[in-house]
Structure 1
Amino acid sequence: MLSPAGAPYAICPYCHTDYQQEGKEVLVEYFYRLEGQTSRDIRWMIVIHGMNSRAKWQEEFSWEIANRLRYSAPVLIYKYGWATIDVLARWLHRRLAKRLGERIRVAIEQAIERQRPPRPDIIAHSFGTHLLSLILENPDFEDLKFGRIITAGSIVRPDFDWERQIASGRVEAVLNHVAAKDKAVPFSQYVIPGAGPGGRAGYAAKAILNVRNMDFGHSDFFEPDNLRLLIADGGLWHSFLTHPLSHFSPNGAFAPNRAWKPAPLLLRGLARTLGYTLFCLIAPLSWLRRRLDP
């Protein structure tokens, strides 16, 4: 097949045959090629659950991944245990995030040994989204890189610098799945230092895909029927994790209306003081619960 660059040809550029001398006529055929991005496989992923979740959905999720996606995609379910006073203290957040980061590093090393990609996809819920954001901001974990990230019921601040994470190559893409009926996320900044209502207001970064479900509450993403739809072929999560994103525009996609500002410091301080007081009152019950259900 000859390149159109030299057409019309009188002599073959390969064998130097003179077409006119041989009495041959050059036939022109047109070929069309569609250029675009290819789809991707879910090779493996890490799931980070929310605060104090028994996470029955985690077993459902692993089962659905294995059956509906029709290929092997190992799922690491990271469980950091029950969190009570932990959510009120920033230094305890950092300790929990450090443990998570170290576990992710081990998982990546194991994935590389098994000839899997070094970048896991991530699904994080509620307090798990906050721990993930702390890992991304921690210089000690700059070596950790991620594929596509889904945050659900996020308590990450709307102004979190996702743009920098994507531009630097730490993160491939982010889907922020917002629940319109989420009653927990708007109050997170009053109780949890460094948190914000990303799971209601959306992320301000232009590179992020914010998608709102008008019927979901804080944990409805993981109800078995909803979860099956999200990760089935054509479901929102499955499509985000596997499809090219250049023209991916799902129903419910939105851009935040205005710049987010945190609540006044006085209100946040009063709320956390109340939180510490309540914790002191229920500390014995909390200790007993940890002992019986670690």
Structure 2
Amino acid sequence: MRSKKNQILISLHGIRTRGVWQKKITPRLTGFKHYPLDYGFFSTLKFLNPFSRKKMVEWFRDEYNKIVEENQGMIPSIVAHSFGTYIVAEAMKCYQDIHFDKIILAGSIVKNDFNFEEEYKKNRYTSLLNFICKRDIWVKLAGHIYGFGNSGVYNFSNSNKIDVVKYENMGHSDMLEDDVFRNKMVPFLRKLSSYNNGDSPIRIIDQISTYDVAVWSALTYKEQFVQRYITALASGYFFNDENEQINQPKRLNIIIPSSPSEASSSARIIYFKDYNKISFKINNGDRRSAFYDKGELYDIPSIIGTSEILSLYSNEDEAKNFIHHFSDALRNLTKNISNIEITTK
């Protein structure tokens, strides 16, 4: 399986609905792990009750924390509609540790003076897209209710850090259809954005598949170690710990461990504790070290035991998947090279 770490997307519906649109958009979200949050049918009476609204904001905070924890701290983007936009804005106002990657507001009833620019300066989100639909009668009505605004029709008073898509003839839910989602929302969600301080909520390495990381690691090992070994065979530059030149080894044995942790520097030292350590170089170039026993050279690729790889594939299944792809790639890259044997621990 050539998996990569998906971006996280939360979607949040409005009142008097169960968010059918949330389920419809999922097929468009390749590369995303989608959480279509459903708080049930929320009546107009509850919508008008500030205590009921407060409970929904608290509920959202709990759901947000569960999602972030489940995904090892990855920051989600969010698409919110109608009352969902209110929940998002109130959660950001009440809970300073809630952060987003991208925010999409559709049918927004957030107060027009909500200062998203100030939230951007605090690194609360990377970019925001607000849909303005001039025929949205429900948003216009919400603007007359205390605690709400009509920002889905008239935008925000401070909109310097807000992207806008404007539709003159659309109503309250028209922007939730597939054509708008496909052509406007998905491209916005896929672009790479950074916080005000320049940091990105997404590590680039997380967006590279396990297969690609493994192949790149195998290519790097082949060029930086195997190729130098082959060249050293032609020139004869092999040295022991006393810097004395020794006979060329008869063969290079590459040992692939069962997990990346077994390729760490400490694990390699323990595994080869009874072997002699030697080094080889190309002309006056930098040296590479390996282990020597009975005329043969041994190595466990340290590139698969780096701290980055260990943190990236801490899950046992992911680690095995990475090792499998690395082993296959290295075998393929070295299949026409004589005097090299690849084995697994």
Shorter-chain TM range is 0.5 to 0.7
Q: Which has the larger radius of gyration?
A: 2
Match of 1:230 in 2: 180
Name the TM-score, length of structure 2 as normaliser: 0.52
Unaligned residue ranges in structure 1 (runs of 5+): 1-40, 247-294
Equivalent residue for 1:186, pick from 134, 140, 143: 140
Equivalent residue for 1:172, pick from 111, 126, 137: 126
Structure 1 residue 189 displacement after superposition: 3.0
SS of aligned partner of 2:175: helix
Opposite residue 78 of structure 2, the aligned amino acid is I
Deviation string, structure 1 residues 259-287 (Cα, Å, up to 9, x no partner): xxxxxxxxxxxxxxxxxxxxxxxxxxxxx
Match of 1:90 in 2: 50
Contact 1:118 1:145 in 2 (8 A): no
Equivalent residue for 1:104, pick from 64, 70, 73: 64
Unaligned residue ranges in structure 2 (runs of 5+): 195-345
Opposite residue 212 of structure 1, the aligned amino acid is K
Match of 2:79 in 1: 123
Q: Which of the pair is proportionally richer in strand? A: 2
Describe the shift of the 1:147–1:244 C-alpha distance in structure 2 as closer, same or farther (beyond 3 A).
closer
**In the aligned structure 2, how far is the partner of 1:245 from the partner of 1:145?**
14
**In the aligned structure 2, how far is the partner of 1:199 from the partner of 1:231?**
17
Equivalent residue for 1:78, pick from 18, 37, 56: 37
Match of 2:13 in 1: 49
Structure 1 residue 100 displacement after superposition: 0.6
Contact 2:8 2:74 in 1 (8 A): no
Contact 2:92 2:99 in 1 (8 A): no
Residues paired across the two proteins, number:
188
Contact 1:127 1:155 in 2 (8 A): yes
Contact 1:65 1:231 in 2 (8 A): no
**In the aligned structure 2, how far is the partner of 1:74 from the partner of 1:245?**
18
Residue 23 of structure 2 is aligned to residue 59 of structure 1: yes
- Structure 1's consecutive aligned runs of 4 or more residues displaced over 4 angstroms after TM superposition are none
Structure 1 residue 204 displacement after superposition: 2.2
Matches within 5 A, 1:140-289: 141-191=95-145, 193-205=146-158, 206-223=160-177, 227=178, 229-232=179-182, 235-243=183-191
Deviation string, structure 1 residues 93-120 (Cα, Å, up to 9, x no partner): 11110011111111100011xxxx6210
Contact 1:147 1:171 in 2 (8 A): yes
**In the aligned structure 2, how far is the partner of 1:106 from the partner of 1:118?**
11
Contact 2:105 2:129 in 1 (8 A): yes
Structure 1 residue 55 displacement after superposition: 2.1
Deviation string, structure 1 residues 103-147 (Cα, Å, up to 9, x no partner): 1111100011xxxx6210100000010011110110xx2222100
Matches within 5 A, 1:127-142: 127-138=83-94, 141-142=95-96
Opposite residue 49 of structure 2, the aligned amino acid is A
Describe the shift of the 1:76–1:109 C-alpha distance in structure 2 as closer, same or farther (beyond 3 A).
same
SS of aligned partner of 2:123: coil
**In the aligned structure 2, how far is the partner of 1:57 from the partner of 1:131?**
18
Structure 1 residue 219 displacement after superposition: 0.4
